[in-house]
Amino acid sequence: MNWYLTVIKKYAEFSGRARRKEYWMFALMNFLISILISIVGGLIGKSDGLIAVSLSGVYALFILLPSLAVTVRRLHDTNKTGWWILITFVPLIGPIVLLIFMIIDSDPDTNAYGPNPKQAPEPE
């Protein structure tokens, strides 16, 4: 949960680097929270009702900027510019390429985007 909160605290911070663990823990928590919100919305109202759609929509709007920011910081960690995020608009191949970029290990040295985040202490 601390990794998720770390990303939320850096709400729209696109500079710097984010290590693999930060990105994937955020993605996991985001996925679990989305499922929980869908379940709660379904229990409160109909699954396609206004409440379920509203809860999911509000959460999606809230999490949009942090998701983009952590993805850009993860690209920076692999020594790529954040503009590579636009490759997702290329049908079929683009999302696969971005997924590979998110999986590969970070640049071990200090790069143009900052020092290696693996050298810094992990959040508790």
pLDDT digit string (tens) for 15-70? 888 889 999 999 999 999 999 988 887 787 765 666 667 888 889 999 999 999 99
pTM of the complete model: 0.84
What's the pLDDT at 89? 95
Among the listed residues 89, 79, 72, the one whose alpha carbon sits nearest the alpha carbon of residue 114: 79
pLDDT digit string (tens) for 91-120? 999 999 999 999 998 888 778 888 877 776
What's the pLDDT at 124? 58
CA distances from 56 to 24, 30, 36, 46, 117 (A): 21, 12, 10, 13, 32
Q: Longest C-alpha distance within the chain, in Å? A: 52
Domain boundaries, the chain: 2-105
Beta bridge partners of 74: none
What's the pLDDT at 95? 94
